[in-house]
Structure 1
Amino acid sequence: MEIMRNLIVALAIMISLPGQAETSEPYPIDYWALREVISNVEVSPDGKHVALLKIPTKDGDPIIEVYPTENLDADPYRVDSDPMEIQQFFWVSNDVIGMRLRQRVRDRIEGFNQGVYEYLLASVDIRRNKLKKYDQLGAEMENVLPGKPNKIIFSYLPGGDNNRLDAAFRPRTYYELNLKTGAKKLLLRGKLDMGQVEFDGNGNPWLARGFDIGKGELVWYERLTDRDRWTEFHRQDEDSFETFSVQGFDVEKPHILFVTANNGHDKVGLWEYDLKRGEYGELVYRREDVDVSGVRVHSNRWQEPDRVSGVVYAKDNYTVEYFDGVEMATQRQLEQVVPNSHYLRINSRSRDGDSLTVYNVGPRDPGTYYLLHKGRFTKLGSRQPLLEAENLADVRYIEYKARDGHTIPAYMTIPNGKPPFPAIVMPHGGPFVSELALYDEWAQMLANNGYLVLQPQYRGSRGRGLKHYTSAFIDGGQGGKKMQDDKDDGMLYLVEQGWAEPERLAIFGWSYGGYAALVAASREKQIYQCAIAGAAVSDNQMQVNYYRTRLRGAGKIEQLSMWDESISPIEVVDKVNIPILLIHGDLDQRVPPDHAEKYRKALLELDKPFEYVALEGADHFSNTLFYHHQKTLYESMLAYLEEDCGPGGL
């Protein structure tokens, strides 16, 4: 209970905060364009050091800084992996830190999902000041092994990524690696009918998933009831849209698994699965409004690497229903200490439990890290230290009815000021993903400049039940149809409720969201003044043809219905009736730049109003957008909204 005493002390040592801002003027674009200044903060297993990933200059690459927890004012030990870029680090012992690195090795993409970066694992011994890089390209870290200091388990795909079989079914090869000596030991080679292996905190394989290609079934295996051999325990038809995902096992009763599954219900719940009986056991937790999204593991991964301590669901925030009373009490104490507490978690902890780092993120906190050590609670830094809470925007969870009566959940980011506001609908990418607006930089940047932002969880979004997800494609692809109505109806709802001005509406999205923006630009019953389409799919057939031959089962039904049967923007480009801003990275591997080029040429031939911004050196994903990319993106968007978004601008 030492941690509880420390927290009570910490309540009396509240952190000093910067002074209140004296102006409500929008922040300079430079503030928003910065990459995360501080991230990935972790305390060492012995609690004597705390390390963080830091980008020290606006154009700089990340470095690791390591501080003694007894003296945070001391000069840090610094790690730079130039010419490679540090993507992530993790403690593996008291003095060894593992790292995942990347380096740009090509000038151009090599086709769909074939980007310009290669990835390596590395380590640094902070006591001996020794950096090691390991030569296995594409290696993925699977497990830190608490009981085996300096060792990890990593995996890779033999033969690389050029394989016609979908990545979800491809077996990986697994090694144990000693980061201090560089020695590696082959643990097992996956195979098609039994791959995708998971290991427990002691390095023992306990779960595997394979694919029975003859029967078209996903198959699960376990080694908890018999450590000497794999035992099949569950099968699911590949055409099923239901979720079945093993989240962990009961450390007191290892034959009991915790699985997230529909199990015949619309909403995903957390269930027990009894390996001895080969069937579902008790329902642990399920809701009628949203899916269970996963579990919360114990905060001390060194002592309790396999213990499940709570179940998680997401609605207006991530909420944890704890099984562990001490973990819950610790969480509640921390929520009382941290300013603007929203989504808060212990993200690392020393082996003795007395030192820990805490991370908080929310609408008025871009992400802040704290250290609790020997009863002192200290703010270590923020991902975006120039953005102050009082100048950020609140986010409100709402629900509204689409024109066919379907309920659509949404997040509304509200500018400081009085409504009605000019408004932008910002559909997420995917489209078949789950979104929770904790702190969304794009939405906050737009709200800081006076725009109300709506992020609808349109049909097809995950996390809202099976019916909501499959309604996007089960009766034919609804892209540009009912999925598009969901976005328009949300904006009309904001107008009706007095939040938005009817003549000052726009749409902005990235990836699928960019596709939705292009579709919106061609709608005959037009409600928007302009559309901003980032990394947009403009030709449905061109996109799905990149991976059509790899699709099987439910994924094939989902993707082919979505793209084959939905409206394709290039086929309705002649109906464009509002100005468009096109933005695309010239190294985009997920939606290759040919999409933007093809659509741009069609707009030119038809003499439609548009502007085009190419982000040189940018891929599809946010971690490839550097300072200069984000500055160009934000400057282009704001200028376009102000000057060119319909008559007189938005």
Structure 2
Amino acid sequence: MSPIRKRRRSMYRAGGIALLLCLLVTEVTAEPYPLDYWARRSAVTGVSLSPDGSKFALTRILERGGDPIIELYDSDDLSKKPVRIDSSPSEIMPGVSWIDDDVFLFSTRQQVRDIIEGFNQGVYEYQNVKYDSSKKNPLGRIRQDFFSVEEVLPQKKNKIIISSSEDVSDRAGTNTTRFRPRSYWEYDLKTNRRKMLMRGKLSMGRVSFNSDGVATHASGFDFRTRDQTFYWRPKGTTEWREMYRLSDDSFERFIPIVPDPVAENHFLVLAHNGYDTLGLWSFNADTKAFSEVVYRRNDVDVAFPFAHSNRLSNPDEVAGISWCKDKCHREFFDGQEAALHRQLETLIPNADQVRISGRSRDGNTLVVSNSGPQDPGTYYLIRNGRVSKISGAKPYLEHDQLAKVEYVTYKARDGVEINGYVTVPNGEGPFPLVVMPHGGPYVSETVDRFDEWSQLLANNGYMVLQPQYRGSQKYGLDFYKSAFIKGSEAGRAMQDDKDDGALYLVKQGLVDPNRMAMFGWSYGGYAALIAASREDQIYQCVIAGAAVTDPDMQLDYYRYRMEGAQKLEQLTTWDGAISPMKEVPKINVPMLVVHGSNDQRVPPEHFDKYVAELDRAGIDYQKLILEGADHFSNTLFYNHKIALYEKMLDFFKNDCGSMSAGTSLANR
């Protein structure tokens, strides 16, 4: 029986009980790490294995403040000096894509402007680069506009499918930015020649191919009916048929993944199908009907399915699905894959989220990574039955000295159940608390990865709460829409969710109510500004980074760039949101405002207008401008982080009321 067919048996999971884990405190074992340790970008990232397993590549930063280089290692002799590849003055982006045993691609970026050109118009441009060790001059830039690799074609040597966006002019005032189509080519990396496969068009803007280079399904937009449209190709034909339609005003999702290998004319799709949570279904494309549920839960959405660990021998196979709540869990459809995963968990020290990031075509050589709250990322090579540690992403941060993260559930003041993640410092409580709301706000936050900011704060004695306030994704449609469907809750119930989490921890005896602060970035920065002006004040200070200060201005950025449900989401979020600009006279706690000078997502005008209003109102505040920084974490370099972390900890210690009082590490 096929592994996928076996999935039909007892794979459905309903319900799910929220876990309230004990928040344990232990003896302080070490002084806080130097800020230099936190400010450095990851020393090693993107370890990737060649198809034959004979070598692997990684990106490495050799010195603090330096740019990444690529190192190429011999899998049979890790002591051998690696081949080093630099791309100055361009900056190498983490990760390489192996195409053949001697050929891989990577991308670079280079700053080409001193200032942003407007909303979502940053200062970088990107380039694809090829490395071919069989050539006398192995490094070569590809003379073509920046493209995405859609599919590696194992049966077609040195050939891949690439895509790039098409420019489509506006039609009678209709926004096309969101639905910009892509065109697809088969590209030969040896000859640098390409063959057009499909020209992008609005009605079929995104196309998926299998490992043989055959187009299997596509999606687009029907401007006449305002529907998202989905198409499929019956096997062995070139005929496109409509599979499904979804109103663009719908908040439900329908995402075809791959053809279902055990049911002809069926596809595995992520969809709601009338349910609150997102599940994996088998969908009959011929009859346009859902056939059966493969895996769904009542408590949280499922994530995208994961592929077979050997993408070369099993290129189009779905091996299982994951879901995240207290931590990220995996459900395997393939028994052999499940057994391999369990075996790896016994081999890898401090195993948390163990992943096979590369496997040779014969299956005998693997690159395995481990990550989690107490592991920024550690990479291992398994070859000839031997496990060798390649490197840690941040090898100077020790597992036992990093803080544990616990999952909590609490009730908001109106009875809504809220989940959150608490990073617990080493030492004895009650602790000072930093509430750190995520950005977005409509994103999903999990604990399957290392969080630098919360670990930095915990290492300096602060407990950190990351509340999954209403509007956070992965908890179903109702919870997501509760932030905006009846009018904006930004600055209202969404704010209560954060405060109620802090008060919950106080009630548990874990937090000192006289030592609480809020620090957030982007939407989280907006939340910090709102917190500063709350009349029923519970915080001693706030730090607002990259904050939306004028909802009307932010709304204008999105107004003509979105359609349907996404546009409604932004309209209802910002149109009725409490405006920090108008709340300035109510500010009643010390405030630090931080912004990047090249922030393209929340442009610096937000910062400029807000501090001008603070000055007019005579409000005392502190500010920090990160010169050259954009909105996103991969543009916060060493000098930015040092400046931010020094200012943040100094502000908490010396300018945040009684935040540093007591016996916490923060007072050392």
- Report if TM-score (shorter chain) is over 0.5: yes
SS at match of 2:106: strand
Identity %: 51
Q: Residues 135-191 of structure 1: CA distance to partner in whole angstroms, max 9, x if unpaired? A: 333422222222223222222222399997354411111122222221122211111
Please state how far the C-alpha of 1:226 moved relative to its aligned partner: 5.2
Contact map agreement 1:63 1:78 (CA 8 A) in 2: yes
Q: 2:43 aligns with which of 37, 41, 48?
A: 37
Alignment of 1:198-597 (within 5 A): 198-225=208-235, 227-253=237-263, 255-438=265-448, 439-597=450-608
**Matches of 2:170 and 2:120, distance apart in 1:** 10
1:86 aligns with 2:96: no
Q: 1:108 aligns with which of 94, 97, 115?
A: 115
SS at match of 2:567: helix
1:137 aligns with 2:145: yes
Please state how far the C-alpha of 1:401 moved relative to its aligned partner: 0.4
Q: 1:189 aligns with which of 199, 213, 221?
A: 199
Aligned residue in 2 for 1:13: none
Q: 2:622 aligns with which of 611, 627, 632?
A: 611
Aligned residue in 1 for 2:184: 174
Worse-superposed segment, 152-161 or 272-281 = 152-161
Aligned residue in 1 for 2:154: 146
Contact map agreement 2:436 2:518 (CA 8 A) in 1: yes
**Matches of 1:629 and 1:251, distance apart in 2:** 49
Alignment: residue pair count: 630
SS at match of 2:420: strand
Please state how far the C-alpha of 1:356 moved relative to its aligned partner: 0.7
* Residue identity in the other structure for 1:61: D
Please provide the CA RMSD for this pair: 1.7
Please state how far the C-alpha of 1:555 moved relative to its aligned partner: 0.8
* Residue identity in the other structure for 1:311: I
Q: 2:104 aligns with which of 78, 97, 102?
A: 97
Please state how far the C-alpha of 1:520 moved relative to its aligned partner: 0.6
- The TM-score, its normalising length taken from structure 2, stands at 0.92
**Matches of 1:254 and 1:578, distance apart in 2:** 63
Please state how far the C-alpha of 1:452 moved relative to its aligned partner: 0.3
Q: Residues 368-426 of structure 1: CA distance to partner in whole angstroms, max 9, x if unpaired? A: 01110001101101111110011100000111000000000100000011221000110
* Residue identity in the other structure for 1:546: Y
Q: Residues 108-154 of structure 1: CA distance to partner in whole angstroms, max 9, x if unpaired? A: 10000000011111110123241121233342222222222322222
Contact map agreement 1:584 1:614 (CA 8 A) in 2: yes
Contact map agreement 1:118 1:137 (CA 8 A) in 2: no
Contact map agreement 1:218 1:236 (CA 8 A) in 2: yes
Please state how far the C-alpha of 1:462 moved relative to its aligned partner: 0.5
Please state how far the C-alpha of 1:344 moved relative to its aligned partner: 1.1
Worse-superposed segment, 131-140 or 475-484 = 131-140
**Matches of 2:276 and 2:288, distance apart in 1:** 23
The structure-2 alpha-carbon separation of the partners of 1:603 and 1:125, relative to structure 1 and needing over 3 Å to count, comes to: same
- Listed as ranges, the gaps of 5+ residues in structure 1 are 1-20
Contact map agreement 2:515 2:659 (CA 8 A) in 1: no
**Matches of 2:516 and 2:169, distance apart in 1:** 42
**Matches of 1:456 and 1:248, distance apart in 2:** 34
**Matches of 1:104 and 1:152, distance apart in 2:** 28
**Matches of 1:596 and 1:385, distance apart in 2:** 36
**Matches of 2:625 and 2:229, distance apart in 1:** 44
SS at match of 2:96: strand
Contact map agreement 1:119 1:139 (CA 8 A) in 2: no
Contact map agreement 2:44 2:61 (CA 8 A) in 1: yes
* Residue identity in the other structure for 2:90: M
**Matches of 1:325 and 1:161, distance apart in 2:** 50
Alignment of 1:34-73 (within 5 A): 34-73=40-79
Contact map agreement 2:328 2:447 (CA 8 A) in 1: no
SS at match of 1:294: coil
**Matches of 2:419 and 2:588, distance apart in 1:** 29
**Matches of 1:428 and 1:161, distance apart in 2:** 35
Please state how far the C-alpha of 1:550 moved relative to its aligned partner: 2.2
Aligned residue in 1 for 2:5: none
Contact map agreement 2:516 2:659 (CA 8 A) in 1: no
Aligned residue in 1 for 2:14: none
Contact map agreement 1:641 1:649 (CA 8 A) in 2: yes
Please state how far the C-alpha of 1:247 moved relative to its aligned partner: 2.2
**Matches of 1:141 and 1:117, distance apart in 2:** 20
- The TM-score, its normalising length taken from structure 1, stands at 0.95
**Matches of 1:22 and 1:234, distance apart in 2:** 58
Contact map agreement 2:169 2:176 (CA 8 A) in 1: no
The structure-2 alpha-carbon separation of the partners of 1:285 and 1:93, relative to structure 1 and needing over 3 Å to count, comes to: same
Please state how far the C-alpha of 1:338 moved relative to its aligned partner: 1.0
The structure-2 alpha-carbon separation of the partners of 1:648 and 1:334, relative to structure 1 and needing over 3 Å to count, comes to: closer
Worse-superposed segment, 532-541 or 226-235 = 226-235
**Matches of 1:161 and 1:95, distance apart in 2:** 41
Contact map agreement 1:63 1:79 (CA 8 A) in 2: yes
Aligned residue in 2 for 1:6: none
Contact map agreement 1:413 1:443 (CA 8 A) in 2: yes
SS at match of 1:550: coil
Worse-superposed segment, 538-547 or 140-149 = 140-149
Contact map agreement 1:140 1:154 (CA 8 A) in 2: yes
Q: Residues 44-79 of structure 1: CA distance to partner in whole angstroms, max 9, x if unpaired? A: 100100111111111211111111111010011111
**Matches of 1:339 and 1:410, distance apart in 2:** 27
SS at match of 1:92: strand
**Matches of 1:315 and 1:71, distance apart in 2:** 41
Contact map agreement 1:312 1:321 (CA 8 A) in 2: yes
Q: Residues 78-112 of structure 1: CA distance to partner in whole angstroms, max 9, x if unpaired? A: 11111111113111100001111111111110000
Please state how far the C-alpha of 1:648 moved relative to its aligned partner: 6.4
The structure-2 alpha-carbon separation of the partners of 1:528 and 1:176, relative to structure 1 and needing over 3 Å to count, comes to: same
Q: Residues 182-211 of structure 1: CA distance to partner in whole angstroms, max 9, x if unpaired? A: 112221111111111111112211121111
* Residue identity in the other structure for 1:111: G
Contact map agreement 1:225 1:276 (CA 8 A) in 2: no
Worse-superposed segment, 157-166 or 582-591 = 157-166
Contact map agreement 2:255 2:271 (CA 8 A) in 1: yes
SS at match of 1:173: strand
Worse-superposed segment, 443-452 or 191-200 = 191-200
Contact map agreement 2:92 2:106 (CA 8 A) in 1: yes
SS at match of 1:169: coil
Please state how far the C-alpha of 1:271 moved relative to its aligned partner: 0.7
The structure-2 alpha-carbon separation of the partners of 1:596 and 1:174, relative to structure 1 and needing over 3 Å to count, comes to: same
- Listed as ranges, the gaps of 5+ residues in structure 2 are 1-26, 662-668
